[in-house]
Amino acid sequence: MNKLFKRVLRDDIELVLDLSPTELIIKADAGQIEQVLLNIVVNARDATPQGGRITLRTKRVDIAAIEKNVPDSKPGTYAYISISDTGVGIYEEDMNRIFDPFFTTKARNKGTGLGLSMVYNIITQYKGWINVDSKVGVGTTFHLYLPLIAEENEKKTIEILENLPVNPVTILVNEPNEALRQAMIIALQQQGHTVIKAKNGQEAIDLAVSQGNLVDLFITASVFPKMSARELIDRMKVINPDIKILYTYSDYQDFKRQGLKESEVELLEKPFSLKDLSKKIQEMFQQA
């Protein structure tokens, strides 16, 4: 996905991916969904002529009731995709027309007005829906919802995890993103690991002290207030010199700014799948 978007983006636009830790399986033509995403990303690019940031997020969402002001919405379980930009935004008087055929806010000869109309038709064809938030001078976010094949998603995740070799260990997970933390905990417990969860650095320290040398692996990120990753890992090593450290990161430069070295920790780049996480853990303990 990163390579797909990089082909159409300029160097002055930062692409940020915040993807679901679990696979999201939908019933749709892959080529059409690629068209949808590319159309929106190209629009976001054109809306940021001075450079900026485009962020794509995916996650599973459960809709309990029909969304207000969204006539196409229905209760159910969906793959949610959002694409946000820090561009010029869309004027309020144009918001109700952006999915109309041949309507465009671009300059003459810069757009046909068919791209978002096609996007709307593809999403609704697969019983999904799309809506837009925008503020002039701030940016625009497209929200896409496509129904998940719930049983297939659950079955595939279970099959993948069950087929991986497991050496059960005790793991302390320190992850600020609640959805990712919960997905990691469920997957690791399903594989037979004992999992302890922490929401921040100080809570992780307190739990490590209470557990003594029982924790085999500490999984942590770097985005916690009040305590740097350097301080957190140093304190963990004092509490338990034999503990293994798995450091998850989105920005390698931030990892280096923390004053850490690859010889001290194992690294896992975000976004990662639960399969990637499980394999990494097994590799760490096979090396021991």
Write out the H or E segment, with its range, that includes residue 40: helix 30-46
Note the pLDDT of residue 213.
86
Note the pLDDT of residue 244.
94
2-150, CATH topology level? Heat Shock Protein 90 (3.30.565)
Percent of the chain with pLDDT over 70: 83
Of 144-153, 167-176, 224-233, the poorest mean pLDDT is in 144-153
Question: What's the mean pLDDT in 24-40?
Answer: 89
Task: Say yes or no to pLDDT of 4 above 90.
Answer: no
Answer yes or no: pTM beyond 0.75: no
Note the pLDDT of residue 274.
74
From the list 240, 246, 251, 232, the residue with the least C-alpha distance to 277 is: 246
Task: Say yes or no to pLDDT of 114 above 60.
Answer: no
Q: Which residues of 157-193 are buried (b: 16+ CB within 10 A; e: fewer)?
A: beebbeeeebeebebbbbbbeeebbebbbebbebbeb
Percent of the chain with pLDDT over 90: 36
From the list 67, 30, 92, 75, the residue with the least C-alpha distance to 143 is: 67
CATH superfamily of the domain spanning 163-286: Response regulator (3.40.50.2300)
Task: Say yes or no to pLDDT of 241 above 80.
Answer: yes
Strand ordering across the sheet containing 244-249: 194-198, 170-174, 217-220, 244-249, 266-269
Of 50-54, 155-159, 225-229, the poorest mean pLDDT is in 155-159
Domain boundaries, the chain: 2-150, 163-286
Question: What's the mean pLDDT in 66-82?
Answer: 76
Task: Say yes or no to pLDDT of 3 above 80.
Answer: no
Q: Which residues of 95-125 are buried (b: 16+ CB within 10 A; e: fewer)?
A: eeebbeeebbbeeeeebebebbbbbbebbee
Note the pLDDT of residue 112.
42
What secondary structure letter does DSSP report for 227? S
